[in-house]
Amino acid sequence: MSQPFRLNKEGLINRNKKISFTFNGKKLFGYEGDTIASALIANGIHLVGRSFKYHRPRGFFGAGVEEPNAKLQVEFNGHSEPNVNATEMELVEGLSATSQNCWPSVNFDIGAINNFLKMFFPAGFYYKTFMWPKSFWYKIYEPFIRKAAGLGVASIEKDKERYEHKFEYCDLLVTGSGPSGLASAYAAAKNGAKVILAEDKPRFGGTLLTDDVSIDNLSGKDWAEKIISELKSMPNVTVKNRSQVFGYYDHNMLVMFERVSDHLEKKSKFTPRQRLWYIRAKETILSTGSIERPIVFGNNDTPGIFLSAAAKEYMKVYGVLVGKKPLIFTNNDSAYETALEFKKNNVEPIILDTREEHSSELIDEAKSKGIDIRFSHGVIVANGYKKVKSAKIGKLNKDKNSFEKIETVDCDCICVSGFWTPSVHLASQSGNKLKYEEKIDAFIPDKKKQHETSVGAANGSFTLEESLKHGFENGSNLSAKITETKTEISIPNVNEKKYGAHDKFWCMPLPKNENPKRFVDFQNDVSVSDIEIALREGYRSIEHVKRYTTLGMATDQGRTSNLNGLQLVSNIENKIVPEVGHTTFRPPFTPITIGTIVGREVGMEYMPTRKTPMHEWHEKNNAVFVDAGAWKRPRYYKQGNETLFEASKREAKNVRENVGICDVTTLGKIDIKGPDAAEFLNRVYTNAWMKLPVGKARYGLMLREDGIVMDDGTTTRISENHYHMTTTTAQAANVLSHLEYYLQIVWPELNVNVVSTTEQWAGAAIAGPKSRDMLSKLYPDLDVSNDALPFMGYKEAEFFGVPSRIFRISFSGELAYEINVKSDHGMFMWEKMMEVGKEFGNQPYGTEALSTLRIEMGHVAGPELDGRTIPSDVSLNGLVSKKKDFIGKNSLGREAFNVESRQKIVGLIPIDRKSSIPEGSHIVQDQNAKLPNPKLGHVSSSCWSVENNNPFSLAIMKDGKNMIGKKFFAVSPLKNKSIEVEVISSHYVDPEGKRVRS
């Protein structure tokens, strides 16, 4: 097992630790510190995938986030992940990587036929080809596109990993640990600022790891190490590697994605896989560096073609050669460093420089080392299908559009450099409009909208000296404003090579009669001719060209393609690049996992679970629960093989015949205190509240200002200035905010305080004809007769030694009481009730029986108070005072609320007395009428009436009261049912309300 392209000594990998992995089933090994890419290249493997549209063979192009091609399906640590960037993913023991977008294999891919049928795949081909006929879309086009396109396969297994969220605050966030980032962080740390330094890669130092420079007589790498270790020792500094700041949001909140343990073979059960950081930074230093720009030429996507800086990084960081016969194709000096690095490792490169012969520090050094440099030269087309074998190169004439001489040279890799593009994504996301800097032919940040400062290459300064100086200055000044401390730091002495000017040349012309593909965007397969077509067809705005050609729309966000695309458009349109403008940068900068976004908020942790104090008892007694907001409420208590229908019927019947108890703890409870409490209630509720005596409860209705019913419930006067309000379970939070709004903003002169006490009280309703008998056993010393405790009465008494409140209120329509005790006593109360209630035939009942009981009584609840009904719609106009003012009163006079045909609540029974009417059914005159069938109303609540032993529903129906006695159809297309119904009164049982008063 030798690695033919691994250098003997170079690199920062740990040669003492071998890591085995597989690629497309083949067993290979690399070293600790390798990426999948560096390990594959060391093994001489370059063909890793097929392109998106044409299925062309693709290899590696970059060495980090800029990689457009090498996206793999990777299985590691027990999960499978698609679209993993091979140039970023670190090798872990047992990792298995496979190529995507190829079938049956990466070596022989049937889809590659697209490459030869390329007349079918021009720019905008999705828009053109798949438009007509429309009916073809679902059955033919869409499945075809799905099969042909697409990258990896998402796992359908449940993600067992742990993901975390973290919220952090700091004075200065530094995004990137290259020279300018290190300098900024160091200066700010010395001023005592709270600093977070984030580095996307596993190693700190950025270009210091690969550039041939020295700082204070240390190599770049050693200087970076020294600064990092000093920063790590400072308590006010957090240093994070494998952490990418990918989003810049409002008010200086940045979001960072930390890969905590993907690179670890073994980890504890509680180690998160990845962590999302929400960082609120007072100031941000954007030291995100720059990305090398390619030059476009024929078949420039052939495996073996690299960015020149990537080739250098593979040598310096990973000790790996991308080839042994390199061609360096450049328009600037930086690629000479790559050539010199090859030379140092005894590999002979040829440099093709598009510039005319001239001299600079680097060119002179390369010359003195005997490197073959050919000026005014460039690569026309790369030869070789699955790997570069040779290249047709040309000597350019002075016009740079034709050739003086063309020849073919052998090579096994081409390292291309078209100068540098600052990474301005975070600045742009922060709202910074960016400006075009002609000196570097790229966009750099302009005026800041938030607290961000770009330094170093991200700001367009490509010399080390300048980067360090700006880093130290900005780090120091920005932090000094916050900490009010300024520590003097001497700027270190720098030794670096000076670059000459670059050539404004990014697209190689083609000789006549030659037409190889020249790719601008590799990941989305967008070529020069696609952009030409888009412009020929009339697209002008760069945003339109982008969408039509899909240029820059892949997951790499056009990091290596946007500027070349703009340059092409500007050349063809004869405009300068800034006039063409740039497209928008959006987070995330690189793809992040869904698991990280979700964090711990999955399953049980998705939202809090609210349980009543009696929950355990319900559980033990076979309660089937239903969610009511965050609450768990017993829906029914299952006996034997009972169904929901059977159980709820049994429970409801028992309430009508004997007595039942129901856990009503979840009802919202609000304590209202103060000398103006009565006046406040009088304004909040539609009915009169000034004369409610102490020790009495009253049913109340509250509206929104637009006259729509907001909520209902009972409120009890506990003492002179103390009231206890109940709300529905669903509206509890809204009602509290509503009351606070009026007390704080509208009527601050009212001396009233409100506070939620929902959680302080456990509640149980006792309902049924035998409830008074049961109550007298629960309170042997208390007079609970109808005279002493009448309907809507209230008493405080000891319940077997614990304080309790007794309300004589009823939701079921039966003689009923509600007992409240402190939450801690809830279970005690419930168990006592079960014990004492035995002799009266008491049974617990759940929400389903509760609904049945209230529906057949015609009591409205959430389905009727649905945000569309006013009091008269639901027969509650008796509760609307004509004498006093209240919230929403002025709206009740609106014309539409008072027309004769206005919707009203009614009851419905099926003609056959058997068929249940689905909730949500529409009421229509003629079930066979042509669509759209005029809708006369809808069914809001349905039950099986236990009193009459047939189905019964409540409905909201146009002109409802005048429809009583008439027949209609309730149709539910959803349930595929149509039931003939008769309209009756909504009060199906005990319309006079005798029972509650009995």
Partner 1 sequence: MLYIKCPYCGLRAQKEFSYGGDATVKRPNINEEVSSEDWDNFVYMRKSPRGKHIELWQHIAGCRQWIKVQRDTATHEIFQTAKVTEEIR
Residues at the interface with partner 1 (CB under 8 A): 167, 249-253, 278, 280, 431, 449, 683, 705-706, 737, 740-741, 744-748, 884-885, 890-891, 893
CB 159 to partner 1: min, Å: 25
Cβ atoms of residues 19 and 57 within 8 Å: no
CB 523 to partner 1: min, Å: 31
127 versus 169: smaller Cβ distance to partner 1:
169
For 798, the 3-state DSSP assignment is strand
CB 240 to partner 1: min, Å: 21
167 versus 606: smaller Cβ distance to partner 1:
167
φ/ψ (deg, to 5) at 262: -60, -25
* Torsion-angle region of 800 (φ positive above 0: left; ψ -120 to 50: alpha; else: beta): left
431 versus 973: smaller Cβ distance to partner 1:
431
What is the distance between the alpha carbons of residues 837 and 832, in angstroms, rounded to a whole number?
Answer: 8
Question: Looking at beta carbons, which pairs linking 977-981 to residues 24 or more positions away fall under 8 Å?
Answer: 977/915, 977/918, 977/921, 978/927, 979/910, 979/912, 979/915, 979/917, 979/921, 980/910, 980/911, 980/912, 981/908, 981/909, 981/910, 981/911, 981/917, 981/923, 981/953
Cβ atoms of residues 437 and 460 within 8 Å: yes
389 versus 884: smaller Cβ distance to partner 1:
884
CB 885 to partner 1: min, Å: 5
CB 890 to partner 1: min, Å: 5
What is the distance between the alpha carbons of residues 750 and 666, in angstroms, rounded to a whole number?
Answer: 29
Following DSSP, what letter does each residue of 132-163 receive, concatenated? SSTTHIIIIIHHHHHHHS--S----S-----E
CB 257 to partner 1: min, Å: 16
CB 587 to partner 1: min, Å: 13
Cβ atoms of residues 327 and 216 within 8 Å: no
CB 608 to partner 1: min, Å: 12
CB 453 to partner 1: min, Å: 18
Residue 473: HSE in the Cβ half-sphere, 13 Å Cα cutoff:
10
Helix axis angle, 464-483 to 179-190, nearest 10°: 30
What is the distance between the alpha carbons of residues 295 and 292, in angstroms, rounded to a whole number?
Answer: 10
Cβ atoms of residues 735 and 681 within 8 Å: no
CB 253 to partner 1: min, Å: 5
For 116, the 3-state DSSP assignment is helix
Query: How far is CA 241 from its chain centroid?
Result: 23
Question: Looking at beta carbons, which pairs linking 371-376 to residues 24 or more positions away fall under 8 Å?
Answer: 371/339, 371/340, 371/343, 372/348, 374/350, 376/404
Beta bridge partners of 725: 670, 715
890 versus 927: smaller Cβ distance to partner 1:
890
CB 752 to partner 1: min, Å: 14
119 versus 745: smaller Cβ distance to partner 1:
745
420 versus 886: smaller Cβ distance to partner 1:
886
What is the distance between the alpha carbons of residues 565 and 577, in angstroms, rounded to a whole number?
Answer: 10
Q: How many CB atoms lie within 10 A of CB 553?
A: 17
What is the distance between the alpha carbons of residues 731 and 711, in angstroms, rounded to a whole number?
Answer: 7
The runs of H, that is alpha helices, within 349-489 are 361-368, 425-429, 464-483
280 versus 822: smaller Cβ distance to partner 1:
280
Q: How many CB atoms lie within 10 A of CB 1?
A: 8
431 versus 934: smaller Cβ distance to partner 1:
431
Q: What number of H helices and E strands is found in the chain?
A: 25, 50
Sheet strands side by side (includes 794-799): 794-799, 802-807, 816-822, 761-767, 660-663, 843-844
Structure-token match 């099969």, residue found: 147
CB 26 to partner 1: min, Å: 47
885 versus 926: smaller Cβ distance to partner 1:
885
CB 688 to partner 1: min, Å: 14
What is the distance between the alpha carbons of residues 891 and 708, in angstroms, rounded to a whole number?
Answer: 9
Helix axis angle, 361-368 to 334-344, nearest 10°: 20
Quick one: which of 253, 564, 597 has its CA closest to 426? 253
CB 814 to partner 1: min, Å: 38
736 versus 983: smaller Cβ distance to partner 1:
736
CA separation, residue 264 to residues 76, 203, 501, 609 (Å):
10, 15, 44, 35
What is the distance between the alpha carbons of residues 128 and 122, in angstroms, rounded to a whole number?
Answer: 9
Query: How far is CA 493 from its chain centroid?
Result: 46
708 versus 860: smaller Cβ distance to partner 1:
708
Helix axis angle, 847-857 to 644-657, nearest 10°: 60
410 versus 885: smaller Cβ distance to partner 1:
885
Beta bridge partners of 307: 416
φ/ψ (deg, to 5) at 578: -60, -25
249 versus 800: smaller Cβ distance to partner 1:
249
375 versus 747: smaller Cβ distance to partner 1:
747
What is the distance between the alpha carbons of residues 56 and 116, in angstroms, rounded to a whole number?
Answer: 10
Quick one: which of 378, 311, 374, 306 has its CA closest to 345? 311
398 versus 691: smaller Cβ distance to partner 1:
691
CB 24 to partner 1: min, Å: 43
263 versus 282: smaller Cβ distance to partner 1:
282
For 894, the 3-state DSSP assignment is coil
CB 274 to partner 1: min, Å: 20
Quick one: which of 335, 326, 339 has its CA closest to 390? 326
Query: How far is CA 992 from its chain centroid?
Result: 54
CB 455 to partner 1: min, Å: 24
CB 745 to partner 1: min, Å: 5
216 versus 759: smaller Cβ distance to partner 1:
759
